[in-house]
């Protein structure tokens, strides 16, 4: 299948592009390298050494014999070129990772709030608008976020996959309906994913675009089968206060003997998924497109939930690291429960990588191996949700 991976140079995009190429798809990466450029601005770098995109692709060709194309293009701005490449290549599936994906970065400055909204909304809308203009019947697989939901109706009720059944109270009695789960985002970044949902709903209704929206949990781990075949294929490992995700930050902290930094009580429960399962989920989603005219198909792309504090304790036990409790820069409940329905991916064959499996491998093979690349001044989380 001809597949475009928008944002195919990023943390989820790169391993996805390799995996889809490995299983035989004709993959084109479309990326403006914005993630690398934000690193430059933030004066930080991936813990793992990332080669230039052309070197990544050349290495993949040498290792696998497979060719990935690469187009440098900003889909949020270069609409005319987007039309050109859609008409030239006519992709059958489009994986859309091309959004600013850090919640702390989206709350850091007015400029980063505005960049996140402008970039993410226009990226998604340009994509949809271009599909209509090119009369292109490609299946859009979009990376959403578990953060669109907030934390559900009660601690013990599972968050359903996208839609909820309700009875609407009216003067004429209760009317049963299935509706999109109400949005309750916790950051400007997560808010943009809720805006995406409404754009998908409109364009599926008006133009019969086929969309699958994947509400992903927090990704942990670094390598997939494909990225581990050569050091030049290695995936990003972000450890800084903005782009580092909580579990990878703990692993890095454990490796260098830095205390595990828990923000707030640690009673916050989050949903997780290993990067290896992310790429499998994308593969499954591509193989199971919705029909034309159907509402957006929504899957919850996560495999387990954990309280932050318990994760810290687990890693502390494995590594002997101390735990340090810091004030929480986010505006959120001090603790929450979280149960998530992910029945659809399980039914379609996903075999989850459980959290304990690869933890020490991450500490040894990634965090310890590259610890000379760490800038400890970049570890603290400095983006505040509300300025004091």
Least distance in angstroms from the C-beta of 308 to its own copies:
20
Question: What residues from 77 to 136 belong to the interface with its own copies (CB under 8 A)?
Answer: 79, 110, 113-114, 117-118, 121-122, 125-126, 129-130, 132-133
Q: With contacts defined by CB under 8 A, name the span among 205-213, 232-240, 313-321, 344-352 that binds its own copies.
A: 205-213
Among 63, 81, 158, 305, binds its own copies (CB under 8 A): 158
The answer to the question of residue 177 lying near its own copies (CB under 8 A) is yes
Q: Which residue has the tokens 């996140």?
A: 116
Nearest by Cα to 200 from 281, 113, 120: 120
Backbone phi, psi, residue 376, to 5° = -65, -25
Strand partners for 262 = 325
Among 33, 202, 310, 377, binds its own copies (CB under 8 A): 202
Site size toward its own copies (CB under 8 A) is 51
Among 1, 136, 195, 348, binds its own copies (CB under 8 A): 195
d(CA 260, CA 256): 10
Q: With contacts defined by CB under 8 A, name the span among 3-11, 43-51, 158-166, 230-238 that binds its own copies.
A: 158-166
Least distance in angstroms from the C-beta of 358 to its own copies:
32
The Cβ of residue 349 has, within 10 Å, a number of other Cβ atoms equal to: 10
Least distance in angstroms from the C-beta of 255 to its own copies:
34
**Beta-carbon contacts of residue 251 (< 8 Å; ≥ 6 apart):** 220, 315, 359, 362, 363, 366, 367
Question: How big is the CA angle at 289 (ends 19 and 116), to the nearest 5 degrees?
Answer: 70
d(CA 67, CA 61): 5
Q: Is 205 left (phi over 0), alpha (psi -120 to 50) or beta?
A: alpha
- Name the residues that contact its own copies, by CB under 8 A: 79, 110, 113-114, 117-118, 121-122, 125-126, 129-130, 132-133, 153-154, 156-158, 164-172, 174-175, 177, 179-180, 182-183, 185, 188, 191, 194-195, 198-199, 201-202, 205-207, 331, 385-387
């Amino acid at each position: 299948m001809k597949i475009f991976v928008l944002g195919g140079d990023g943390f989820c995009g790169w391993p996805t592009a390799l995996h889809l190429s490995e299983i035989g798809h004709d993959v084109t990466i479309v990326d403006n390298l914005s993630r690398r450029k934000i690193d430059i601005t933030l004066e930080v770098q991936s813990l793992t050494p990332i080669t230039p995109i052309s070197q990544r692709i050349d290495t993949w060709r040498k290792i696998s014999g497979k060719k990935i194309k690469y187009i440098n293009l900003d889909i949020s701005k270069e609409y005319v070129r987007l039309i050109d490449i859609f008409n030239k290549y006519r992709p059958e599936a489009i994986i859309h990772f091309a959004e600013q994906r850090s919640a702390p970065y989206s709350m850091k400055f007015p400029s980063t709030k505005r960049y996140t909204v402008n970039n993410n909304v226009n990226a998604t809308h340009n994509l949809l608008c271009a599909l209509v203009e090119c009369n292109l019947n490609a299946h859009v697989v979009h990376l959403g976020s578990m953060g669109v939901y907030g934390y559900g109706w009660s601690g013990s009720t599972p968050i359903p996959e996208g839609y909820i059944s309700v009875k609407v109270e009216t003067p004429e009695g209760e009317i049963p309906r299935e509706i999109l789960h109400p949005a309750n985002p916790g950051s400007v970044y997560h808010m943009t994913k809720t805006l995406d949902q409404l754009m998908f709903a409109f364009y599926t209704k008006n133009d019969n675009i086929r969309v699958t929206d994947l509400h992903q949990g927090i990704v942990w781990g670094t390598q997939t089968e494909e990225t581990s075949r050569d050091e030049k294929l290695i995936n990003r490992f972000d450890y800084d206060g903005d782009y580092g995700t909580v579990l990878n930050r703990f692993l890095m902290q454990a490796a260098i003997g830095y205390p595990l930094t828990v923000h707030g009580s640690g009673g916050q429960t989050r949903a997780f998924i290993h990067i290896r399962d992310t790429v499998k989920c994308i593969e499954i989603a591509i193989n199971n497109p919705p029909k034309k005219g159907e509402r957006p198909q929504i899957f919850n792309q996560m495999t387990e939930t954990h309280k932050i504090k318990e994760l810290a304790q687990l890693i502390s036990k494995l590594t002997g690291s101390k735990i340090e409790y810091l004030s929480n820069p986010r505006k959120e409940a001090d603790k929450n429960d979280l149960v998530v329905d992910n029945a659809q991916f399980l039914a379609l064959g996903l075999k989850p990588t459980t959290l304990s499996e690869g933890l020490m491998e991450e500490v040894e093979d990634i965090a310890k191996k590259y610890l000379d690349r760490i800038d400890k001044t970049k570890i603290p989380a400095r983006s505040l949700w509300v300025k004091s």
